[in-house]
Structure 1
Amino acid sequence: MFSFSERLAKLPPYLFVELDRMKAEVKAKGVDVIDLGVGDPDLPTPSHIVQAAIEAVKKPENHHYPSSAGMLAFREAAANWFKNRFGVEVDPQKEVVTLIGSKEGIAHFPLAFVNPGDVVLVPTPAYPVYHIGTLFAGGETYYLPLLPENNFLPDLESIPEDVLKRAKILWLNYPNNPTAAVADKAFFEKVIEFGQKNNIIIAHDAAYTELFYDDYTPPSILEVKGAKEVAIEFHSLSKTYCMTGWRIAFAVGNEKLIAGLTKVKNNVDSGAFQAVQEAGIAALSGDQNCVAEFRKVFKGRRDVLVAGLKELGFEVEPPKATFYVWAKVPQGYTSQDFAAKLLKEAGIVVTPGNGFGEPGEGFFRVALTVDEKRLEEAIKRISALKF
């Protein structure tokens, strides 16, 4: 009787919904499932953030509609955090907007600047929402393959001239999901020059900048001279402070880009609950030792998993950032076949690389969202399989 809109009909199945379905089937058979699929940290939100939320919920002034742009106090906290972390000043009034999680902002951003027929440059494999937001805005996605031989960085020089003329936005994400690749400031300098030369918006999803290890510290693209002329950057409290369920984030950057996103939000949502924003203020303004502790935990897990996989003969390198490990599937398997084998024969959920895009074929992604003992158990189960 009713049919979905064309935009919904064009959507691929959302990767993690399908993973949840398959996982539920195996669990229903009584299998003890080790879930290394979705990037949802198992660690609890730090207590001082939770306490700030509890107190904020009690305030009657927080029981009303919030501003779509977010509380000025939250935007000021975000601007102060950004200056302390990256050494870049942003105006909390004009260059910061509060988001109901960065997914919301990323999905809505193309609606502000993309017209039907415009092109959006999207890396692949990648977080699916860059492409989904493009579809919803009526734009066309031009994929930029992230390949091992290019260190999982897009080759901007490979983009045809006719595509460049129609392109409105270039999406980037470093540290990267799913490949865990990192980008240095020199790469960002090239990207900003590319955006300026071609009049293309640079949209950088920076959700994983605070999950880094060893001697590496991720830069912000806004550290590059001239970046504010063409760039917007999305930051999430979800992974940094283990607040995935709280749905709180912010975007910073070019004043007009922030204004465009804010105008969309003015018309489609009523902003983040102010009590959650107050919790966000506590996170951004408080002691950052909790973030350092999270990094230690994830580094320990990374080391256990990478060592175990290497011992079993997998091709894998320890990531410098994120809580993902990107590894090659064994010879003779597709990504899908290998992921299905792990789930059915070992009760382990991993994400097939091709689920993030065609160039991800031949890889699988592991999320470090269980403790070291469970990771050791996963390695033990994999070692018992025949490949």
Structure 2
Amino acid sequence: MSDHQLRTRTPAAPAPRTTGGSRTAAAFRAAAPALAVYAAVRALGLLAFWAAASAAGKDPLGPLSGRWDSVWYQRIAENGYRYTVTLPDGSVHSDLAFFPLLPALERAVSAVTPLTLGGAGLLVAWTAGLVAAWGIFAVGAELRGRRTGVVLAALWGVYPTAFVQSMAYTETLFTALAAWSLLAVLKGRWIAAGVLCVLAGLTRPSAAALIAALAITAAVTLVREYRDERRAGPVLRRNARMIAGVALAPLGWLAYVVFVAVREASPVAYFDVQAQWGNNIDGGRALAAFIAGLPWPAALGLCAALGLLGWLVVLCVRQRQPLPVLLYTVAIVVISLIGAGYFGSRPRLMMPAFPLLLPPAIALLRLRPPGRAAAVLAALACASAAYGAWILLGAGPP
């Protein structure tokens, strides 16, 4: 090519820049099948419950927005932290056991819409459920491809206690924040992961599992890099954003614990409040005592369920799930099992451990013909809907 040609050649048009909005739109389009399947299975659950409640002559909205923990959150949204109740056994239940992000969102939504606090709580929970399904899909797609992400989101929507995802509870909000925080870690966006972890720490005490997952992952990364280089300075500078994200992560959880400590004039006040509710950590003694007190067929069935849970954890390890994902999952399971609280709540407490469902999701995708996977998911959705309707019309809290 001559000098003249070099001087007069028209330069190539620059590649179009991808904006944040276009990236979000593309991500939403990719997640649309997962969101559609998740919305469908949750709609089926609501329809089954609505039909069962109507047949029983009961208000279908009551258990979703106006019973059990939902009432405590709405009371905080309306009046702040000031309510306690003394039970016949002398224990004192304080609303300080409940973290502030959900009631704050309920109050904000109710202030700018015609919705009551109960309606606002449902709107927050249902919206967060879709955001959580999107995040779960994104994690599954990052690890095993888009089809796996779709099935993973669907399985989370048909989890045995998935009916809680339709209630004004914190499970969907916390799972959404945890899923997107884990995705941010997988993509190396540590500041975003830390900020999301701050919000998770204002939502549920089990954010300790997410905080630990981020901190241990960062520590392992630093140790490995230092072992290779033997120079701390460059390692720390190269990982400055990771260190900053980890430093941010516990601030939400710590802020609320400090708030309770200052309010009650005791450094361990938050833990005392939880102990009054029976939610102190006892290493699993309450769980063992509960199993021992059951009739042997029920005890055997529960032990089998716990064995299945342990097997799922083993499968997650065998799949070589990334360290932050695996640590988060194991920590959620452990926290759910070693507390002294009401046994019936433990399956609900484990629901945010969505990576446990990755082995079943992969197994479903291996079924042939492919229609079998859809049939299994449909059967699970019907079973989950029926179980949810039965529990919600019962007397005890989930």
Same-fold status (TM-score > 0.5): no
Q: Per residue, is there more strand in 1 or in 2?
A: 1
- Structure-2-length-normalised TM-score: 0.31
- Structure-1-length-normalised TM-score: 0.31
Larger RCO, structure (CA 8 Å, separation 6 or more):
1
Q: Per residue, is there more helix in 1 or in 2?
A: 2
Larger CA Rg, structure 1 vs 2: 2
